[in-house]
């Protein structure tokens, strides 16, 4: 078959790109190694920057998000047993974030693609291959339900994540990667209980980091920092709730509602960037090109920004016969990626307990947090980065 853009990966970045291109009249096909149910079952981020909210609106898919999502004008930092609010809205000049789960974003995009009858190949497994993207006639091949498919296209968009086929298809000599692995992970629990607070709480404690977040007024997502060697199955619900309580302030402990976990898992933390993000007619986007620690809520939002730049570049190519956006895609994306990597690294380093930091590490973090919440300039820097830097 023939299409204009072959998109590898049916996660939120691939689906969002497909929707933006389709609305611009650009044919596209999505190829996904997993089933649609598997993609929807992945528990991921839940904080959307304003640019991500605006992109869903641009796709005509913002109605449910605005109806069910939770607009947040601030976050709380907990240290030395007390909470301090960062007023994102005031400090960033009127910006806010939206709490709306990545699963819901994916669901909205997937439903829209199905209604429009746009071509999507699910459950292709490890058969996805990228061909000739360094020339004028790239192709994607895959096998679905035992039947081989070859998709001829003008461009390939690699939105298939860290372990996908897209980046792996690039010659090693053409790629430079940067990686930092952190010596701990996040043990996360999803439960149908009301949130302990109406805004997110980021906690720095002598026992380690904790995060209190939510997906809705009746569903909460909580995390505690644990060593990498820990196993989620070794933690009972009771043990998790007990450890979370130990990392909260008195008021939060009193308001914490516990219940059986719907999902429990441990996520490692990593910083990763691949440069460049364009190779001939292949473009990398989202986790295929970069990963950030979840502390700064940047992963999905960075992917959305990549898609914004890429969709604009491809629309410019087809409508105006200009490749200026295509030629500038990698540079523009990476300028934003590295700023988000810096912020996520800084926020992670500030809020977590590092094994080799000792008592002085905790005191230095607390001193920086004291300065952060008492200085409008420092609080503004945090707020500007958290809500998303200008494009």
Q: Could you tell me the CATH number of the domain that includes residue 247?
A: 3.30.9.10
Residues recognised as catalytic: 72, 202, 294, 298, 386
Q: What is the pLDDT of residue 42?
A: 80
Question: With bands split at pLDDT 50, 70 and 90, how would you rate the model's confidence at 45?
Answer: confident
Non-local (6+) Cβ contacts of 19 within 8 A are 59, 61, 109, 112, 113
Per-residue tokens: 31: 């190829």
**Mean pLDDT along residues 329-338:** 98
Relative orientation angle of helices 299-320 and 324-351, to the nearest 10 degrees: 170
CATH of the domain at 139: 3.50.50.60
Say if CB 196 and CB 248 are below 8 A apart: yes
Structural domains in the chain (count): 2
- Phi and psi at residue 98, to the nearest 5°: -120, 125
Question: With bands split at pLDDT 50, 70 and 90, how would you rate the model's confidence at 310?
Answer: very high
In a domain, 84, yes or no: no
Q: List pLDDT tens digits, range 49-91.
A: 999 999 999 999 999 999 999 999 999 999 999 999 999 999 9
In a domain, 93, yes or no: no
CA 58 to chain centre: 19
In a domain, 87, yes or no: no
Is there a single domain that holds both residue 319 and residue 174? Answer: yes
Range of the domain at 327: 5-70+98-179+270-348
In a domain, 83, yes or no: no
Which alpha helices (DSSP H) does the chain contain, by range?
12-23, 36-41, 50-58, 63-68, 88-91, 102-115, 165-168, 237-246, 250-255, 299-320, 324-351, 358-374, 376-387
In a domain, 297, yes or no: yes
Is there a single domain that holds both residue 259 and residue 366? Answer: yes
In a domain, 186, yes or no: yes
Residue matched to tokens 């939120």: 12
Paired with 224 in beta bridges are 187, 210
The CA distance from 202 to 32, in Å, is 35
The CA distance from 164 to 156, in Å, is 13
342 — alpha (psi -120 to 50), left (phi > 0) or beta? alpha
Peptide bond preceding 173: is omega within 30 degrees of 0, i.e. cis? no
> Is the predicted pLDDT of residue 259 greater than 80, yes or no?
yes
Q: What percent of the chain has pLDDT over 90?
A: 97
State how beta strands 210-216 and 147-152 pair.
unpaired
Question: With bands split at pLDDT 50, 70 and 90, how would you rate the model's confidence at 318?
Answer: very high
Question: With bands split at pLDDT 50, 70 and 90, how would you rate the model's confidence at 46?
Answer: confident
Is there a single domain that holds both residue 63 and residue 114? Answer: yes
Is there a single domain that holds both residue 38 and residue 140? Answer: yes
Q: What is the pLDDT of residue 106?
A: 95
Is there a single domain that holds both residue 125 and residue 43? Answer: yes
- CA proximity to 212, closest of 199, 230, 225: 199
Is there a single domain that holds both residue 111 and residue 56? Answer: yes
**Is 261 in a helix, a strand, or coil?**
strand
The CA distance from 224 to 270, in Å, is 16
Question: With bands split at pLDDT 50, 70 and 90, how would you rate the model's confidence at 358?
Answer: very high
Is there a single domain that holds both residue 34 and residue 124? Answer: yes
Say if CB 297 and CB 47 are below 8 A apart: yes
**Mean pLDDT along residues 334-342:** 98
The CA distance from 109 to 13, in Å, is 10
Is there a single domain that holds both residue 133 and residue 54? Answer: yes
Is there a single domain that holds both residue 66 and residue 211? Answer: no
The CA distance from 232 to 109, in Å, is 31
Say if CB 273 and CB 177 are below 8 A apart: yes
Q: What is the pLDDT of residue 240?
A: 98
Is there a single domain that holds both residue 281 and residue 359? Answer: no
The CA distance from 245 to 248, in Å, is 5
Q: List pLDDT tens digits, range 214-258.
A: 999 999 999 999 999 999 999 999 999 999 999 999 999 999 999
In a domain, 86, yes or no: no
Residue 120, CB half-sphere, CA atoms under 13 Å: how many?
A: 25
> Is the predicted pLDDT of residue 328 greater than 90, yes or no?
yes
Q: What percent of the chain has pLDDT over 70?
A: 100
Is there a single domain that holds both residue 195 and residue 340? Answer: no
In a domain, 161, yes or no: yes
> Is the predicted pLDDT of residue 44 greater than 80, yes or no?
no
Kindly state the DSSP code that residue 82 receives in the 8-state scheme.
E
Is there a single domain that holds both residue 203 and residue 288? Answer: no
Task: Choose between 38 and 41: higher pLDDT.
Answer: 38
């Amino acid at each position: 078959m023939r299409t204009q853009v072959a998109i590898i990966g049916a996660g939120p970045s691939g689906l969002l790109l497909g929707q933006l291109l389709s609305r611009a009249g650009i044919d596209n096909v999505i190829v996904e190694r997993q089933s649609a149910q598997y993609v929807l079952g992945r528990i991921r981020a839940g904080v959307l920057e304003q640019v991500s909210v605006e992109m869903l609106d641009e796709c005509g898919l913002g109605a449910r998000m605005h109806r069910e999502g939770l607009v947040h004008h601030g976050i709380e930092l907990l240290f030395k047993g007390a909470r301090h609010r960062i007023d994102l809205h005031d400090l960033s000049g009127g910006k806010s974030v939206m709490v709306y789960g990545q699963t819901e974003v994916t669901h909205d995009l997937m439903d829209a693609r199905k209604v429009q009858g746009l071509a999507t190949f699910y459950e292709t497994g490890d058969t996805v291959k990228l061909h000739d993207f360094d020339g004028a006639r790239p192709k994607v091949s895959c096998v679905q339900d035992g039947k081989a498919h070859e998709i001829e296209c003008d461009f390939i968009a690699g939105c298939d994540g860290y372990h996908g086929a897209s980046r792996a298809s690039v010659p090693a000599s053409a790629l430079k990667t940067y990686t930092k692995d952190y010596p701990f992970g996040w043990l996360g629990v999803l439960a149908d209980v009301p949130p302990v607070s109406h805004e997110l709480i980021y906690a720095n404690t002598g026992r380690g980091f904790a995060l209190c977040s939510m997906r809705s007024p009746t569903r909460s997502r909580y995390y505690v920092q644990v060593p990498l060697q820990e196993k989620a199955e070794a933690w009972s619900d009771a043990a998790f709730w007990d450890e979370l309580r130990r990392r909260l302030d008195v008021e939060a402990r009193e308001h914490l509602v516990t219940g059986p976990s719907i999902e429990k898992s441990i996520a490692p933390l990593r910083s990763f960037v691949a440069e460049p993000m364009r190779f001939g007619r292949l473009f990398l986007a989202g986790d295929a090109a970069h990963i950030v620690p979840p502390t700064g809520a940047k992963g999905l939002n960075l992917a959305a920004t990549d898609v914004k730049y890429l969709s604009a570049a491809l629309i410019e190519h087809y409508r105006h016969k200009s490749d200026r956006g295509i030629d500038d895609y990698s540079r523009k994306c990476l300028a934003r990626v590295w700023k988000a990597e810096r912020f996520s690294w800084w926020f992670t380093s500030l809020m977590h307990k590092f094994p080799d930091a000792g008592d002085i590490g905790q005191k230095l973090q607390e001193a920086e947090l004291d300065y952060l919440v008492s200085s409008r300039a420092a609080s503004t820097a945090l707020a500007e980065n958290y809500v998303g830097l200008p494009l």
